[in-house]
């Protein structure tokens, strides 16, 4: 005999879920594992290579000049970050590497730059004169070549932008860049970029949990089985009130 339509109640659904906890757990773990494996097999493998550059400002070695030069170098870093991802740097880099098969927009998308360490000073300016430039690419050797080429063009353009030549009447004779980027550490190897797995695994686990929960509830409801003494009392009371 089928139970009344208002049975099972909410507490009975909880009882069904508690009885099928192992199925729900295994399905959730299996789905999360399947999502992780699928991401490992299907995702593109990217490699990242980086170079470290430093901004410096020309000046004499006196204490005040060195202090002012350090502030000037820090102030220029934000500009160099944007310059590293500029169309000018990308086009020069592509022109230097025959057969690259890449547009400036694609190279810009694979290039990133930031100062190290991060953060700003009390004046809102970068607190470092060190610039880290990175390039990602599916080929590790090409990533190394690209980032070194990007860095070389970035340094050349930084000199061009602030090149100066003293006039014969100037009290200080100097010909060269007022400020420029200089190399600190060139790229020799590339490292594999870890993929963001958490979101995919979480989605897989959620799907497995939802499907297994629906399955456990469906099986428990269609069995027409009294789950607890409380449910039996509830059915009896419903029947008695219906006969009254």
For the residues 160-187, what does the mean pLDDT come to? Answer: 75
Angstrom distance (rounded) from CA 216 to CA 195: 34
Share of the chain above pLDDT 70, in %: 70
Q: What is the pLDDT of residues 105-147, one digit of tens each?
A: 999 999 999 988 766 666 667 767 889 999 999 999 999 999 9
What mean pLDDT is reported for the chain?
78
How far is residue 134's CA from residue 115's CA, in Å, rounded to a whole number?
11
**What fold, for 47-192?**
Alpha-Beta Plaits (3.30.70)
SS3 label, residue 57: strand
CA nearest to 197, candidates 58, 66, 39, 76: 39
Provide, rounded to the nearest whole percent, the portion of the chain with pLDDT above 90: 27
pLDDT of 132: 94
**Average pLDDT of the residues in 6-35:** 78
Condensed to tens digits (0 to 9), the pLDDT of residues 38-69 reads 777 766 678 999 999 988 887 655 544 455 55
User: Residue 28: its pLDDT value, please?
Assistant: 87
| pLDDT recorded at residue 37 | 78
Q: Is 232 helix (H, G, I), strand (E, B) or coil?
A: helix
pTM: 0.61
In terms of pLDDT, which residue wins out, 198 or 146?
A: 146
Contact 74, 121 (CB under 8 A): yes
Residue 3 has pLDDT above 50, yes or no: no
pLDDT at 150: 96
């Amino acid at each position: 005999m089928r139970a009344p339509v208002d049975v099972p109640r909410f507490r009975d659904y909880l009882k069904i879920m508690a009885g099928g906890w192992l199925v729900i757990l295994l399905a959730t773990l299996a789905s999360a594992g399947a999502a992780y494996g699928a991401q490992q097999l299907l995702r593109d493998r990217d490699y990242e290579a980086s170079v470290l550059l430093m901004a410096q400002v020309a000046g004499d070695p006196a204490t005040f000049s060195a202090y002012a030069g350090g502030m000037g170098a820090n102030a220029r870093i934000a500009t160099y970050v944007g310059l590293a991802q500029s169309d000018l740097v990308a086009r020069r880099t592509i022109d230097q590497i025959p057969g690259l098969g890449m547009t400036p927009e694609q190279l810009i998308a694979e290039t990133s730059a930031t100062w190290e360490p991060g953060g700003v000073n009390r004046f809102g300016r970068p607190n470092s004169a060190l610039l880290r430039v990175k390039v990602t690419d599916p080929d590790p050797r090409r990533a190394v070549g690209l980032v070194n080429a990007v860095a070389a063009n970035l340094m050349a353009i930084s000199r061009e932008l602030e090149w100066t030549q003293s006039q014969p009447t100037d009290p200080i004779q100097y010909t060269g860049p007022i400020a420029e980027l200089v190399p600190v550490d060139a790229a020799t190897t590339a490292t594999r970029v870890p993929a963001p797995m958490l979101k995919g695994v979480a989605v897989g686990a959620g799907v497995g949990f939802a499907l297994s929960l629906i399955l456990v509830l469906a099986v428990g409801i269609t069995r027409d089985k009294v789950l607890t003494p409380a449910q039996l009392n509830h059915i009896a009371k419903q029947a008695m009130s219906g006969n009254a």
